[in-house]
Structure 1
Amino acid sequence: MPRFYESKYPDVDQLVMVQVQSIEEMGAYVKLLEYDGIEGMILLSELSRRRIRSVQKLIREGRNEVVVVMRVDPDKGYIDLSKRRVSAEEVVKCEEQYEKGKTVDSILVQVAKKRNVPAEDLYEKIAWPLHKQYGHSYEAFKLSITEPDAIFGSLNLDSDTLADLRAVIARRLTPKPVKVRADVEVRCFDYAGIEAVRRALKAGEALSTEEVPIKVRLVAPPLYVMTTTSTDKALAIERMEKAVEAIGEKIAEEKGDMTIKMNPKVVSDTDDAELKELMERFEAQNMDVAGDDDESEEDE
């Protein structure tokens, strides 16, 4: 188990991720996952703010928990921890930090295997110095995708290690494009209804940007699907929401209406396949209708 940070022991008041090893009369013995699995204890009185009716409902063996460090005695190896003093917001913050640490560890372990060196050596040469400089080595790794010289220039790494490190980081941390989709029904029964719908849809597409290109396709009147593909999920959803809003405002001006059938969300390949099948089914139905018309004309 790795030590994510240079210090052998955590600081007092620091949030840490632990895994529960056993539950005894005095409390729970745990191992600190970010500190090489060293042992700590959550005293029974520090498990919950409320009266403890069942310890098993509060904490279980094998489960990861976010706790705060109360006392550290390096000489005796004692680390006292508290679960009850941790807020919900702090849990989220610590979980995010831990996930970043796991990602960095995974990258360094892969590089260590390729270079046939101990992962601890790479922590000393790479992760710990970058952690001091950037607040977390994960943030430095992300920046290195576009600014490798600025990030790694001061580390004095050999060319092979640097090449392997950059390759693994690029594979793990380069943002992957996501597809965002929204389904809307747009109607207008006014005299220029078709043109009004077209203008409304164009108002949505007009909010496209280079990062978030928006396209609108007809499924079957009055149902339209809006899609975009972007490496920035949050930005894509935000932009699509504004596009849906623009369509709604424009069609309302044209005395029509819009119904949102699906709010903007990230969709999977399965969702795409289902949409394609739906569109093909409507297309086949339209062809059947056209064929029936031809037959009726011949009968006449």
Structure 2
Amino acid sequence: MSVRVIFMRALKEWPDPEDYVICTISELNPNSAVAVLDEYNGKRGMVHVSEVANTMVRDIRRFVKVGEKEVAKVLFVDPQRGYVGLSLKRVKPSIRREKILEFKNEKKADKFLNFAAKAMKKDLKQAYDEAGYALMEKYNGLLYPAFERAKAEGKDALIKDGINPGWAAAIAEVAEKNIKEKEVVKDVILSLSTFAPDGVDAIKKSLELKGNDSKGVEVKYISAPKFKLKVVGSDYPEVESKIARILKNAEDVMKKHGGEAKIEEEKL
């Protein structure tokens, strides 16, 4: 099976121990999973079976699949052997959420910089060489915060960072057009199952959102018995609270019909 990986740009060649990285599982072995580091130009890492989950792993294929993206913690790096040791089980849910958000924002920033490059009649490589990498140096290896600052403070903020006025103006214009007011978005999978004769009605009732819980929530059918919820709020506590209330309502309804409801986080 071929694995498609979109590599992100990084200022350093290798990650450091204790870093958190986005990786794509490329190969499964009985005692390990091989992963491609998306942010490090195809460098490879290995997750030993003992670092996959906080439980006994008898079959690694039940926990990870080829082609899936994961957030991993770097345990050690051996550049001479081209080897990075990774752990999946040492990634806390809060860290995972933050890293996923950071990764998605960096993909947006790469696209935004390409927009700015077109306005400057340059290509993306020139954009990074003339402005992108310099901004990443200023913002701890990340590009998206530069666009956020340009949105909030305009081109002069980037000029103060040492960016060419032409690039600063192009980046600020792209930021103004494309960055919305700050919001938190979380995608989760809601599974609803029951064998009751009126099961379809029960599922429909489970998905009925009332009051504020209906705002900022988009429900899409995936396949029985799963639904994708896209939940939007001003911060993580608001989003998590809304998800908890939706789940509680679904559990109450499904329990009355001999079924169950459960939430799982969507894979990257």
Letter in 2 for 1:21: S
Conserved? CA contact 1:20–1:60, under 8 Å = yes
Match of 1:107 in 2: 112
- Structure 1 partner of 2:212: 263
Identity percentage over the alignment?
A: 24
Of 170, 179, 190, which residue of structure 2 is paired with 1:164? 170
Cα contact 1:29–1:41 (8 A) shared by 2: yes
Q: Is the 8 A contact 1:126 1:155 kept in 2?
A: no
In 2, Cα distance between the equivalents of 1:44 and 1:33? 21
* 2:80 partner SS: coil
Partner of residue 65, structure 1: 70
Unaligned runs of 5+ in 1: 176-231, 235-260, 269-300
Instruction: Check 1:114–1:42 CA distance in 2 against 1; reply closer, same or farther (3 A cut).
Output: farther
Distance 1:111 1:75, change over 3 A: farther
- Which of structures 1 and 2 has the bigger CA Rg? 1
Return the alpha-carbon distance in structure 1 between the equivalents of residues 177 and 129 of structure 2.
Answer: 23
Q: Structure 2 regions of 5+ residues with no counterpart?
A: 1-5, 185-209, 218-268
Instruction: Select the structure that is richer in helix.
Output: 1
* Alpha-carbon separation, structure 1, partners of 2:59 and 2:94: 24
The 5-angstrom pairing of residues 171-190 of structure 1 reads: 171-175=177-181
Residue pair 1:2, 1:120 contacting (<8 A) in 2 also: no
Q: TM-score, normalised by structure 2?
A: 0.60
* TM superposition shift of 1:116: 5.6
Aligned to 1:93: 98
- 1:272 is aligned to none
Does the CA contact (< 8 Å) of 2:8 and 2:107 recur in 1?
Answer: no
Residues 72 and 80 of structure 1 are in contact (CA less than 8 Å); yes or no, is this contact kept in structure 2? yes
Superposition deviation, residue 85 in structure 1? 1.4
In 2, distance between residues paired with 1:233 and 1:154?
A: 26
Contact 2:52 2:89 in 1 (8 A): yes
Determine if contact 2:52/2:87 at 8 Å carries over to the other structure.
yes
TM-score of the two chains, using structure 1 as the length reference: 0.54
- Counterpart position of 2:159: 152
C-alpha contact 2:72 2:86 (8 A) present in aligned 1: yes
Once residues 9 and 123 of structure 2 are traced to their aligned partners in structure 1, the CA distance between those partners, rounded to angstroms, is 14
Q: What is the DSSP-based 3-state SS (H/G/I as helix, E as strand, rest coil) of the residue aligned with 1:146?
A: helix
The secondary structure found in structure 2 opposite 1:263 is helix
Paired residues in the alignment total 185
Displacement after TM superposition at 1:163 (Å): 3.9
Mapped partners of 1:83, 1:263: distance in 2: 35
